[in-house]
Amino acid sequence: MFDHATNAEDVQDLLLDHEESPRNRGRAIDATHTAVRRHPLCGDEVAVTVRVKDGRATEVRWEGRGCVLCRASASLTCEAAEGRPVAELSATDDAELVHCLGLPLSPAKRICATLPLTALRAALAIRKHFPPEPESSSASSCAPS
């Protein structure tokens, strides 16, 4: 899903580009899936909203706050996810994103980097709660007799 940065300068340029010009920021219109994930140790928080149609993520957006690594990763993740099959996104492993970044990451920074991907997978696993559809029958169990 992700393109691998080839050297440290490429990684720095990639992260700075996504930090300075974040992609896919905001909320997906008519989202069908949503999730929020937090990193309690550093305060990062990412909300991902996704509109799925015909088994594909047709719109993927993020909102949140946190360190540069988390925000850049949210931008990168959501941009890369848009248009892809839900099954592929759900199976994307954290290691793929970490490999793409090409950086040695401490365990805490690894969580910062992968938090948006974790939120994306969580959103796809849980359909957004919508009001129940009206029953097709005109009879109601609550109707007075």
Q: Which residue has the tokens 């909203």?
A: 49
Q: Give the span between the Cα atoms of 64 and 118, in whole angstroms.
A: 14
| pLDDT tops 80 at residue 142 | no
Instruction: Report the percentage of the chain scoring pLDDT > 70.
Output: 81
Q: What is the pLDDT of residues 1-16, one digit of tens each?
A: 766 555 667 777 878 8
Q: What is the pLDDT of residues 128-141, one digit of tens each?
A: 654 443 344 333 33
Name the pLDDT band for 37 (thresholds 50, 70, 90). very high
- Across the chain, what does the average pLDDT equal? 84
Q: Write down all domains in the chain, each with its CATH number in brackets.
A: 8-125 (3.90.1010.10)
| pLDDT tops 60 at residue 99 | yes
3-state secondary structure the chain: CCCCCCCHHHHHHHHHHHHHCCCCECCCCCCCEEEEEEECCCCEEEEEEEEEECCEEEEEEEEEECCHHHHHHHHHHHHHHCCCEHHHHHHCCHHHHHHHHCCCCCHHHHHHHHHHHHHHHHHHHCECCCCCCCCCCCCCCCCCC
Token pair listed for 86? 């839900």
In this structure, are residues 90 and 125 in contact, taking their beta carbons and an 8 Å threshold?
yes
